[in-house]
Amino acid sequence: MMLARAVAAQDAAAVRYSLRFDQGDSAGVAVSITLPTPIAAPIDFAMPRSIPMGYGTQPYDRFVSDLVARDANGAKLAITDLDGPRWRIASSAGHALASIEYRVDVRRMESAILNAGDASRVRPGYLGLLGYSVFGFVDAVLDAPITLDVRVPTGWPVYSTLSATPSRGAIMVHARDFYALADAQILAGPDLVLQQVSHGVPFTLALYSEQQGFDIKAMGVLADSALRQTIAYFGTTPLSRYTASIEILTPLSQQHEYRFSMEHLESATYRFAVGQLDAGPAGRDRTYYNLLHHTVHSWLPKQCAPAGYYPFTWDYAAPIDGIWFSEGWAQYIAADIFGGPGVDGAERRRARVALRFDGAAADTLPPIRGHRTAELSRVAAHQYSEDFRISATVFSRGALMAGAIDDRIRQVTHDRKSLRDVTRGLMSWCETSRAPVTADVIGRVVNERTGVDARDLIDSWLAPRGARAPDRARP
């Protein structure tokens, strides 16, 4: 009885989101938001533009239509379209805002957004939704708990990464706040294939494939191994469940790109074109490394981040100095896990590091040479996928920094310690500190956990590399 009352009290305090997809309306979804307490003052409703870990923006507000705000009696409130992804709702003491409803044109979104990893999609027999592309918010309740009710055609399998349990036709799930809701995914339809492993952290491979004969079993083995090996590397896990969402898609056009995957709190999304994945040994290694890379991100930086990641800014992409850590260190850790133990593992790790990072870190492009890593990181934070040369330079410098520190630790300690000890130390530090990770924190943790001084290596990889291109006279 007491538990039931506690659950009822929690539900009463939660923001209630509802999402409906009608098979007869193949273009989009209907969303409604009900506030736990009406807001009796003018307030903004906003759609995200910035993407967690996306290092850029997408205009999700442009796919919103039929926006309506109501008071508790159902009366419509006036709405003013503001500049940017916001609308001002004229709520007041006499007509307090109680609910919001709108539609999202998912089909138009997929057509307009050329990076497939940033778009939701609806296909015959399938619905794949990224939370931040369809769910808007009110600033006053960003931190409030959320209850989400999803309705799809009767009999359709439906799955949310906020729960390890799929359903049919409808599903209700909970999120601790808006960030958790927005960073989750909703997948549904008769063409959705779910493969689940229940031992340890529950793992779900969610696959939608337009490629005939795609080997879901082999992909499931790789993705599950990536999760288990990552948990073993860190020694602890923040995950209550984990989902790898994979879509194999027929490209909409030659301009659409299917090469960027995305990590989330308890999931990762992978979007590939039909025929893109190589089933041979080299292709299998690339796929496995990609899975490891994005799985590692559920620890770094989702749980342990430099400045700029939290609190998250939904309207615009925040400047971030530390992509060299959040991307570079995470990708080196993935290479370390990929290599495995022993002498052969060390060789595999070095080969993967050389293949992935050496060329990009050389900084051969004149616009990149001579700039500090933090400067380039701030640029990459706004155009990561649009200009991958800069992004690759930043994460490659960070990865090679991590590799240099790892090599020194192994040499000084005669392989008794490695970067894994440092990584576990950083995770412990982040559990007790709300401050962001910095170069000083990393240097201190390296010394505390291994007895090795690595500050010179950190400073070296953060310093400008190469000669800056000469300035030109003002025109």
Tell me the pLDDT tens digit for each residue of 54-108: 999 999 999 999 999 999 999 999 999 998 999 999 999 999 999 999 999 999 9
| Residue labelled with tokens 């759609």 | 47
CB atoms within 10 A of CB 456: 11
Using pLDDT thresholds of 50, 70 and 90, give the confidence band for residue 11.
low
pLDDT recorded at residue 364: 64
Give yes or no for residue 2 having a pLDDT over 60. no
Using pLDDT thresholds of 50, 70 and 90, give the confidence band for residue 23.
confident
CA atoms within a 13 Å half-sphere pointing along the CA-CB vector of 188: 25
pLDDT recorded at residue 108: 97
Mean pLDDT of 461-474: 79
Sequence-distant (6+) residues with CB within 8 A of 343 are none
Contact 257, 272 (CB under 8 A): no
Instruction: Return the percentage of the chain with pLDDT > 70, whole number.
Output: 95
Contact 68, 90 (CB under 8 A): no
Sequence-distant (6+) residues with CB within 8 A of 165 are none
Distance CA 342, CA 415 (A): 10
Q: Could you tell me how far CA 274 lies from the centroid of its own chain?
A: 23
Distance CA 89, CA 424 (A): 47
- DSSP for 243-305, please give it: EEEEEEE--SSSS-B----EE-SSEEEEEEETT-S--SHHHHHHHHHHHHHHHHTTTTTTTS-
Distance CA 113, CA 118 (A): 7
pLDDT recorded at residue 190: 97
Give yes or no for residue 470 having a pLDDT over 60. yes
Using pLDDT thresholds of 50, 70 and 90, give the confidence band for residue 472.
low
3-state secondary structure of 403: helix
Tokens of 238: 């923040």
Mean pLDDT of 233-258: 96
Give yes or no for residue 7 having a pLDDT over 50. no
pLDDT recorded at residue 368: 82
pLDDT recorded at residue 282: 94
Using pLDDT thresholds of 50, 70 and 90, give the confidence band for residue 1.
very low
Contact 158, 264 (CB under 8 A): no
Give yes or no for residue 312 having a pLDDT over 80. yes
Distance CA 365, CA 326 (A): 23
pLDDT recorded at residue 5: 44
Give yes or no for residue 263 having a pLDDT over 70. yes
Give the tens place of pLDDT for each residue, 284-311: 999 999 999 999 999 999 999 999 999 9
In this prediction the pTM is 0.94
Mean pLDDT of 108-133: 97
Q: By mean pLDDT, which of 67-76, 184-193, 340-349 is the weakest?
A: 340-349
Q: How far apart are the first and last CA of the chain?
A: 77
pLDDT recorded at residue 125: 95
Report the sign of the C-alpha dihedral through residues 364, 368, 369, 372, in that order: negative
- DSSP for 94-144, please give it: SS-EEEEEEEEEHHHHHHH--BGGG--EEETTEEEEEHHHH--EEGGGTTS
3-state secondary structure of 179: helix
Mean pLDDT of 377-387: 91
Mean pLDDT of 335-362: 91
Contact 177, 142 (CB under 8 A): yes
pLDDT recorded at residue 35: 99
Give the tens place of pLDDT for each residue, 158-174: 999 999 999 999 999 99
Give yes or no for residue 408 having a pLDDT over 50. yes
Sequence-distant (6+) residues with CB within 8 A of 321 are 306, 307, 308, 374, 377, 378
Work out the mean pLDDT of the chain and round it to a whole number: 94
pLDDT recorded at residue 362: 65
